Amino acid sequence: KARTVLLATEKAFAAAAVAKIEAVTSAAGYTLKRLENYKSKAELLAAVADADAMIIRSDKVDQAVLDAASKLKIVVRAGAGYDNVDLKACEGKGVVAMNTPGQNANAVAEMVFGMMITSARNNYDGTSGFELVNRSIAFYGFGAVARAVHKLAHGFGMKSFAYDPYIPADKIKEMGATPVDSVAGLFEHQYVSLHVPLTDETKSSINKALLQKMPKGGTLINTARCEVVHDADMIEVLKTRSDFCYLCDVAPDDKEAKDAMKAAVGDKYGKRLIFTAKKMGAQTLEANDNCGVAAASQIVGFFEKGETRFSLKA
Ligand code: NAD
């Protein structure tokens, strides 16, 4: 059956990844329609009208998009976090939503180490820094990205700890990390790395009380979502604890909060505070390819074989 797959990416994939996506869709006899680097919601609403399936990145899929997409059966978020997709609205319209779990985990994990080393070496400013060996890192959430960071941490000779109430403690132990039984327990360790999805439970969950518990040189790493951290509390901790560092791939959307964090650390930018230019954890050739091809393959599997393995629940 002739099907149209809309690739709707406000931030386009690398051209090589798009070619690989198209190879998958055309092998199935589907047409790939591209809406890349679009500037307005109206363009998206127009483009979805004849789409049977949709591949997106951080693009917002809400009720308005679904209402404009009368033929849509499936939307796949090429990536891990799906807080940009209104799952309830999808369910209401009978549209299956999926993500591509694990496909960008290594990309994020390598960047976590890039940020940790930059900070530990004082942003290479000529002064003496410290090594990561024998230091401890604690994971809030122990899914695909956290496990990839853990694997690298093991290679660096670090000790890993993890809090994830959805994974049995024995399984965490089997993977070589020490289970921790509360979020607060994570903050006894020098590095705390956030790898939870943005949910009602995790929103603003990282607050002053937790950050103040961290030992000297306490460092929070955030490659998850900015909303997981309480902005005002972070600003206060950066101001009052001159030893505390925040290494962040997801700077606050709120410009005022972002500027206040920068002002709080003054010239220690790059040591005490890192903000990437935009969310960059998954911005690698490999992750683009992996996520894009997985998304296209999941769409073909869904239509041709009824596969729903990666479908998300509201
Ligand atoms: P994942 O689904 O594999 O892992 C998430 C883990 O969090 C799961 O093991 C889950 O059990 C756990 N969890 C959920 N709620 C929790 C809670 N309240 N307390 C503790 N643990 C909880 O996802 P992932 O691939 O590891 O990605 C994690 C998050 O990182 C994504 O949701 C996304 O927001 C973010 N992410 C960002 C980038 C980036 O480019 N910076 C790339 C990939 C993922």
User: Using one digit for the tens of pLDDT, what is the confidence trace for 172-206?
Assistant: 999 999 999 999 999 999 999 999 999 999 999 99
**Residues 246 and 273 sit within 8 Å (Cβ to Cβ):** yes
Overall average pLDDT of the 95-115 stretch = 98
Q: How confident is the model at residue 268, as a pLDDT?
A: 86
**Exposure of 289 in the CB half-sphere (CA atoms within 13 A):** 7
Single-letter amino acid code for the residue at 65: V
- 6 CA distance to ligand 1 centroid (A)? 26
Strands in 31-36's sheet, in edge-to-edge order, are 31-36, 4-9, 53-56, 74-77, 96-99
Can you list the alpha helix ranges (DSSP code H) found in the chain? Answer: 15-27, 41-47, 63-68, 87-93, 105-120, 144-155, 169-174, 183-186, 208-212, 231-240, 255-265, 285-305
Residues 274-307 have pLDDT tens digits of: 999 999 999 999 999 999 999 999 999 999 999 9
Task: Examine domains 4-103+283-305 and 105-275 and report if their fold is the same.
Answer: yes
**Atom 37 of ligand 1 has which residue's CA nearest to it?**
224
4-103+283-305 to CATH, choices 3.40.50.720, 3.40.630.40, 3.30.200.20, 3.30.310.40: 3.40.50.720
Q: What's the ipTM? A: 0.99
- 314 CA distance to ligand 1 centroid (A)? 16
Relative to the CA of 145, which ligand 1 atom is closest?
26
Whole-number Å distance between alpha carbons of 152 and 116: 12
* Length in residues, the chain: 314
Residue 1, pLDDT above cutoff 80? no
113: confidence class by pLDDT, cuts 50, 70, 90: very high
**Residues 158 and 120 sit within 8 Å (Cβ to Cβ):** no
Q: How confident is the model at residue 269, as a pLDDT?
A: 85
- 35 CA distance to ligand 1 centroid (A)? 28
- 26 CA distance to ligand 1 centroid (A)? 32
Q: How confident is the model at residue 185, as a pLDDT?
A: 98
Whole-number Å distance between alpha carbons of 14 and 148: 23
The pair of structure tokens assigned to 184 is 């607060």
**Atom 8 of ligand 1 has which residue's CA nearest to it?**
143
**Atom 39 of ligand 1 has which residue's CA nearest to it?**
281
**Atom 12 of ligand 1 has which residue's CA nearest to it?**
141
Q: How confident is the model at residue 232, as a pLDDT?
A: 98
Residue 117, pLDDT above cutoff 90? yes
Q: How confident is the model at residue 254, as a pLDDT?
A: 95
Residue 133, pLDDT above cutoff 90? yes
- 167 CA distance to ligand 1 centroid (A)? 13
Q: Which residues line ligand 1 (CB under 6 A)?
A: 79-81, 101, 104-105, 108, 140-146, 163-167, 195-199, 201-202, 223-225, 249-250, 279, 281-282
Residues 241-280 have pLDDT tens digits of: 999 999 999 999 999 999 999 999 998 889 999 999 999 9
**Atom 30 of ligand 1 has which residue's CA nearest to it?**
224
Overall average pLDDT of the 196-221 stretch = 97
**Atom 9 of ligand 1 has which residue's CA nearest to it?**
143
Can you give the C-alpha Rg of the chain in angstroms?
Answer: 21
Packing angle between helix 255-265 and helix 231-240, nearest 10 degrees? 10
**Residues 219 and 191 sit within 8 Å (Cβ to Cβ):** yes
Main-chain phi, psi angles of 7, to 5 degrees: -95, 100
- 141 CA distance to ligand 1 centroid (A)? 6
Of all residues in the chain, the percent with pLDDT exceeding 90 is 98
**Residues 108 and 148 sit within 8 Å (Cβ to Cβ):** yes
CB atoms within 10 A of CB 248: 24
Q: Say yes or no: domain 105-275 is CATH 3.40.50.720.
A: yes
For the chain, give every domain's residue range: 4-103+283-305, 105-275
Pocket test for ligand 1, best of 106, 142, 145, 284 (most atoms within 8 A of CB): 145
Relative to the CA of 102, which ligand 1 atom is closest?
25
Relative to the CA of 101, which ligand 1 atom is closest?
25
